[in-house]
Amino acid sequence: MARKRGRGMAACWYGIARTAVVDRAAAWAEIDDGGSAKIVTGVTEIGEGILTVLAQIAAHEMGVKPEHVVIGDNDTARAPEASHAGASRQTYMIGNAVALASREARKRLVDVMAEVWDVPPQQIGTGNGEIWAENTNHRISMGEAVSTAKNRGVVPVGSATFGTDTTGLHPVDGAGRPWQAYVFGAQVAEVEVDTVTGEVQVLGIWAAHDVGRAVNPQGVEGQIEGAVVQALGQALMEDYKLDNGRTTTSGFAKYILPTALDVPRVNSIIVEDPDPLGPLGVKGVGEPAMVPTIPAIMNAIYDAVGVRITSLPATPEKVLMAIREKEKQERQIVAEAAE
């Protein structure tokens, strides 16, 4: 058989939010006219879907519909600091800040309605664009409630900041508390290796990642799928080459990226071990999902054809050379045994 299949696995761990420094993020919230809501925060949507995640969190916390949440995002003159897009931090840091700000805005509205309906605030429920008092017939739309509050001189707003309890590393032994939330994961890769050409095809990935709590499972899957394919690029084909400081790969004709034809089926398994320190239980997934893929693929190549690639990328040339070398060594062993 010219084509051999193999499977490999690898595990990972990762820290969420900025490393070995105190991280922080802030948000402002308002339950707005008509029962819509406004969130303003210095968030950076870089494609992961954070705006949708924040809309879901705000909707959940304030009891409005997610499609009625308006997000004012990153502008240093208009939005409070939420810091950067990176370190798998936005859902954790900004999500928690939005949740806390939303709770404060909701409390302002709930306090007004508790007074109007003469019930304790704990008895008030909100959800899906409505506000009501449990065990009574009081139930009105959020829009009406906002109007009631404003007629009493109250604009239901809130603000919040979320920070981490972290430290730097000791300069000699590295001791320290670099993150307050850790995630773990494991992936299995199935590959097919063509022993004539050296080409490796990754056919399947099973990726299990702890994300704390998945606000939007489709978004989590999207992060895992994208991370796996970026890692596959580094594992098998991508290579920025320099010749005395000058690149020879200055375009996509030379710098080869994974296309639709290169990608495995990615099976995502979402594990939820909620973070006990934040109000939502969320953690993160953007970066950790990339970490086990490369070793899982290299381990699968070994399982398929018995060659260990320790130098990335595992191009067809490199894999083929390793297979030939292994065959040569095996022939030598047989020859030596025969003598």
Q: Which of residues 165-184 bind other proteins (CB under 8 A)?
A: 169, 171-178, 182-184
Question: What distance in Å separates the CA atoms of residue 315 and residue 333, rounded to the nearest whole number?
Answer: 27
* 291 in contact with other proteins (CB under 8 A): yes
* Nearest CA among 64, 61, 27, 18 for reference residue 177: 18
Question: What is the smallest separation between the CB atom of 31 and other proteins, expressed in angstroms?
Answer: 16
* 221 in contact with other proteins (CB under 8 A): yes
Helix/strand/coil for 313: coil
* 129 in contact with other proteins (CB under 8 A): no
Question: What distance in Å separates the CA atoms of residue 54 and residue 43, rounded to the nearest whole number?
Answer: 9
Which residues, in sequence order, are bridge partners of residue 127?
130
| CB closer to other proteins, 13 vs 120 | 13
How many Cβ atoms are within 10 Å of 150's Cβ, its own excluded?
Answer: 13
| CB closer to other proteins, 71 vs 145 | 71
Question: What is the smallest separation between the CB atom of 69 and other proteins, expressed in angstroms?
Answer: 8
**Angstrom distances, CA of residue 201 to CA of 47, 181, 227, 235:** 27, 35, 17, 11
| CB closer to other proteins, 112 vs 142 | 142
* 2 in contact with other proteins (CB under 8 A): no
Question: What distance in Å separates the CA atoms of residue 53 and residue 66, rounded to the nearest whole number?
Answer: 9
Question: What is the smallest separation between the CB atom of 320 and other proteins, expressed in angstroms?
Answer: 16
Residues numbered 296 to 335 that lie near other proteins (CB under 8 A) are 296, 298-299, 302-306, 308, 310-313
Residues numbered 7 to 26 that lie near other proteins (CB under 8 A) are 7-15, 19-20
Strand order in the sheet with 265-271: 3-15, 182-194, 200-210, 265-271
Question: What is the smallest separation between the CB atom of 109 and other proteins, expressed in angstroms?
Answer: 18
Question: Known catalytic residue: 238?
Answer: no
- What angle do the packed helices 95-117 and 50-62 form, to 10 degrees? 20
| CB closer to other proteins, 11 vs 321 | 11
* 339 in contact with other proteins (CB under 8 A): no
Which region among 54-62, 135-143, 319-327, 329-337 touches other proteins (by CB under 8 A)? Answer: 54-62
Which region among 71-79, 144-152, 157-165, 319-327 touches other proteins (by CB under 8 A)? Answer: 71-79
Catalytic residue among 30, 287, 325, 327: 287
**Amino acid making up residue 64:** V
* 159 in contact with other proteins (CB under 8 A): no
Within 8 A by CB and 6+ apart from 206, the residues are 187, 188, 267, 269
Size of the site for other proteins (CB under 8 A): 141
How many Cβ atoms are within 10 Å of 22's Cβ, its own excluded?
Answer: 12
- Per CB under 8 A, the list member of 119, 140, 154, 271 interacting with other proteins is 271
Catalytic residues: 287
